[in-house]
Amino acid sequence: MTKIILSLLTLTVGATALAAADIPQPMRRGYELYGAPQVKWVMPPNRAHLMDRRERVANITEEQFNQIIDDVMKYWQPIAQAKGVNLVAEKNWSDGTVNAYASQSGNTWRVAMFGGLARRPEVTPDGFALVVCHELGHHFAGYAFYGSRDWASSEGESDYFATNACAKMIWGKDFRGNERFRRIRNVPAPVQENCTAAWPNNANAQAWCVRAAAGGHSLATLLANLGNDPAPKFETPDTTVVSRTNTAHPRGQCRLDTYFAGALCTKTWDMNTIPGRNHPKGQNSQAAELESMKVSCYASEGFKIGMRPSCWFKALN
């Protein structure tokens, strides 16, 4: 078990070629939806479904795939219902699409998950749970949005929400599950030091923080491998400083930094609000950002850790 958990923090799986034309094609309805304007994906469009093999032993079984989705969704469906929304999860285990998406049609808000992503060697059960959280983030995270009239939160914001809000809810009281992460040896120094600093005198929260960092690392590694980018590391944060918020998919290292930042933010998320949504001054306005400051960490408030990384986010306040 210790070796398995350690692998979450040290995974360096190499990128694989995706060109073999003779590979049998699994069902790929998700892949065929690339380009649909109202569909928001966790990963950029890719052809990784060509390498999907259902017969391979993966970190996640079909039973776990379904259970993880149910375990996350059960927290958010009552929240959606209170808003008059029908929150639906699609479980597409047989589909080889290496992705997941969120979409809205009227009062039906959808999260679609695909077996191709769950079967990737980089993806751990906790990493997969964070994918569900990311897609929920498109619906619930609020500012920063894709655009002033777009229903969806941006990609970086959905990553931040995945650990800042969603994972805290689903894992916060999982004392037994979190306990495993207190026993890991050789945790990267930035993870150990910052999780301890963010959550002093709270052993469960420190362990949960390491857990969220590990799950985020598995997803950032997948993204880096799909893009042939260097393996993301906690010791080498992205030093890019954007001049305006990037709403598209950040690169692997930037996404790792974002998942980790969300785990380090000590603000409490208000489940009754979607910060900035349909704000009269604009969803991406300074006023909308002020709403998000109630549930997110900002340098202007004196926070030293837990802020959205500057590799994709430019604060207005």
User: Residues 270-281: pLDDT tens digits?
Assistant: 998 999 999 999
Work out the percent of the chain whose per-residue pLDDT is above 90.
79
pLDDT at 194 over 70: yes
Cβ atoms within 10 Å of 76's Cβ, excluding its own:
24
Mean pLDDT of the chain: 90
Residue 111, amino acid: V
User: Residues 20-67: pLDDT tens digits?
Assistant: 333 344 556 687 888 887 899 999 999 888 888 777 778 999 999 999
Residue 306, amino acid: G
The whole-number pLDDT of residue 27 equals: 54
Backbone region of residue 282 per phi and psi (left: phi > 0; alpha: psi in -120 to 50; beta: other values): left
Can you give the pTM of this predicted structure? 0.91
Asked whether the bond before 144 is cis by omega within 30 degrees of 0, the reply is: yes
The whole-number pLDDT of residue 28 equals: 62
Bigger pLDDT: 302 or 34? Answer: 302
Q: What is the mean pLDDT of residues 2-7?
A: 40
Kindly list the distances between the CA atom of residue 158 and the CA atoms of 130, 214, 302, in Å, as whole numbers in the listed order. 10, 17, 23
Bigger pLDDT: 56 or 180? Answer: 180
User: Residues 211-227: pLDDT tens digits?
Assistant: 999 999 999 999 999 98
Dist. CA 207–CA 213, nearest whole Å: 10
Token pair belonging to 95:
């589909």
User: Residues 116-128: pLDDT tens digits?
Assistant: 999 999 999 999 9
Q: Domain segments of the chain: what residues?
A: 2-301
What crossing angle do the helices spanning 189-198 and 252-264 adopt, rounded to 10°? 30
User: Residues 288-297: pLDDT tens digits?
Assistant: 999 999 999 9
The whole-number pLDDT of residue 5 equals: 41
Token pair belonging to 281:
């001054």
pLDDT at 89 over 70: yes
Backbone torsions φ then ψ of 262, nearest 5 degrees = -60, -35
The whole-number pLDDT of residue 172 equals: 93
pLDDT at 242 over 80: yes
Kindly list the distances between the CA atom of residue 297 and the CA atoms of 97, 123, 190, 313, in Å, as whole numbers in the listed order. 34, 28, 18, 12
pLDDT band at 165 (very low <50, low <70, confident <90, very high): very high
The whole-number pLDDT of residue 171 equals: 96
